[in-house]
Amino acid sequence: MRKIDIFDTTLRDGEQSAGINLNTAEKIEIAKQLERLGVSIIEAGFPASSPGDFEAVNKIARTVKNSIVTGLARCVKSDIDTTWEAIKVAEQPHIHVFLATSPIHMEYKLKKSPDQVLEQAVETVKYAKKFFPLVQWSAEDGFRSDRDFLARIIEKVIEAGATTINVPDTVGYASPQEYGELFKFLRENVRGADNVKFSAHCHDDLGMAVANSIAAIQNGADQVECTINGIGERAGNASLEEIGVAMHIRNDLYQVETGLNLKEIKRTSQLVSRLTGVVIQPNKAVVGKNAFAHESGIHQDGVLKNKETYEIISPELVGEGEVPLVLGKHSGRAAFRDRAEKMGFDLSDDKLNKAFQEFKKLADRKKVITEEDLMTLLTEQQVLIEDVPLFELKSVQVSYGTENIPTATASVVTPEGEVKTLAATGSGSVEAIFNTLEQLVNATVNILDFRVKSVGKGRDALGDALVNLRYNGYTSTGRDASQDVLEATAKAYLNAINRHLIQDSIRSKETAEV
């Protein structure tokens, strides 16, 4: 059976989505989960784009052993040098270089002739090959490129040493028939095509990214590039979970295997959603909360008689399903640690203790501790950065009535260890909280996005708050969860401010080193 490599670009193309701002600890956590999922290649970032991206790619390359780790680079020698410094510690150093090949990109963006673009591509692939055994070359906007020129430049970069050729539908313009035909054409007309992998990378601007990716596989692509939950620039990328499950369920038709551990799909999807703050739409295929829900009486009757009447995917296949409840307020630390490890978390003793304390507090208030509750508590500790003094919320109180002006009072421990009590009013409870906490930073804070959603079901469910804000020229996103949505909101706001402080600390260290 033909093997299709799954190239995951959640941490690179996915993170470019508007409003997503992952720190290094969060990227490492996602990378470790992608490794558990069994993806072939993890595109960890764009090392030359920023010191933060360089650090994340380097740490992921050191951490991940069972998936290939790659970094993106322009067809520029300095980018390749930076990527080598970040990736050289990996088990199998891999680089992904790209250069635009469509007429509109070459004329208006690159301002180069086709011959100049070809020369630059060949020169940089040869240069990259001096360092990297695995070199992937991408023809940016490949689908809208002239086919004869595309075939010619691909031939030359293969001769220069490229091991993978990626032909993206960068703007999501293709139809499945057209995109499949392009791969067939290249396979049949490019000298050396049998010596390299061909890769598909599809965007979802017209809603056809998954269909286009599958069409490419059917016409000779050996690799598909995708993201968890389909996140990405504009309308997003091809959805990894949809492609992986489609290949499995319709194996009779596609006759390929991906090597994915499909039971890790649900957990991976939840982790990415939690850390990026991008909510999964309820009717999202495979991972949406309604993906296995049956409302219609006719459907319910059929499923009760035989699940296959209306369920072509079993919830268990993707790791969805009820987990036996073994933890409660009387559970001990050993049982808690065991569950954390089984869920894939690797926490230090200090972080485990903090998570256990939060678990005990929640167990005293909540009748049923769900897997989603544990996921929330453990994830927050796993990605916590401890070496920078931060703000800590001690208490928050809101006075509200339909006839009164909402007033919030908060007690906060500052990074210097001082306890400050602050108060402010607002047009609503949430604005009162924001106005109160804004006094901590002596700057105007602009709220770009604010959302609260429930974690799990029931009236005692945790409220998961997300605050995206901007001040002092930088944007950061904070998250937190609590049974009280106003407490969760205050904590999420401080989390965003703390992430800003962490980035300030990193920038200060980088300046000092320079």
All domains of the chain in start order, with CATH: 2-276 (3.20.20.70), 297-382 (1.10.238), 392-513 (3.30.160.270)
Judge whether 205 is annotated as a binding position.
Answer: no
Residue 203 labeled ligand binder? yes
Bigger pLDDT: 325 or 498?
498
Residue with tokens 């055994």: 133
**pLDDT given for residue 508 in this prediction:** 63
Distance from C-alpha of 416 to C-alpha of 30, rounded to nearest angstrom: 32
d(CA 188, CA 315): 41
| Nearest alpha carbon to residue 355 among 328, 382, 331 | 382
Please determine, for residue 253, whether its predicted confidence score (pLDDT) is greater than 90: yes
d(C-alpha 155, C-alpha 149), whole Å: 10
Please check if 79 is assigned to a binding site. Answer: no
Percent of the chain with pLDDT over 90: 66
Residue that wins the pLDDT comparison between 489 and 501: 489
Which positions ≥6 away from 107 have C-beta within 8 Å? none
Average pLDDT over residues 421-436: 95
Q: How many CA atoms lie within 13 A of 222 on its CB side?
A: 16
% the chain with pLDDT above 70: 92
Backbone CA torsion sign across 355, 483, 391, 473: positive
Distance CA 264, CA 123 (A): 41
- Residue 357's pLDDT is 85
Q: How far apart are CA 286 and CA 96, in angstroms?
A: 29
Question: What is the mean pLDDT of the segment spanning 402-408?
Answer: 91
User: Does the structure show a pLDDT above 90 at 117?
Assistant: yes
3-class secondary structure, 17: coil
Find, among 5, 25, 9, the residue nearest to 380 by Cα: 25
pLDDT in tens, 342-392: 777 888 888 888 888 888 877 777 666 777 778 777 877 776 666 567 899
Cα 213 to its chain centre, rounded Å, is 19
pLDDT of 28 over the 80 cut: yes
Question: What is the rounded CA–CA span in Å between residue 17 and residue 130?
Answer: 33
94 is in an annotated binding site: no
Residue 323 clears pLDDT 50, i.e. is over it: no
Burial category of 326 from C-beta neighbours within 10 Å (exposed 0-12, middle 13-18, buried 19 and up): exposed
Residue 49 per-residue DSSP state: G
Give the separation between CA 442 and CA 434, rounded to whole angstroms: 13
Q: Tell me the pLDDT of the chain averaged across its residues.
A: 90
Least trusted range by pLDDT, from 74-78, 229-233, 495-499: 495-499
pLDDT higher than 80, residue 61: yes
Identify whether the C-beta of residue 476 lies closer than 8 Å to the C-beta of residue 21.
yes
Q: How far apart are CA 157 and CA 165, in angstroms?
A: 9
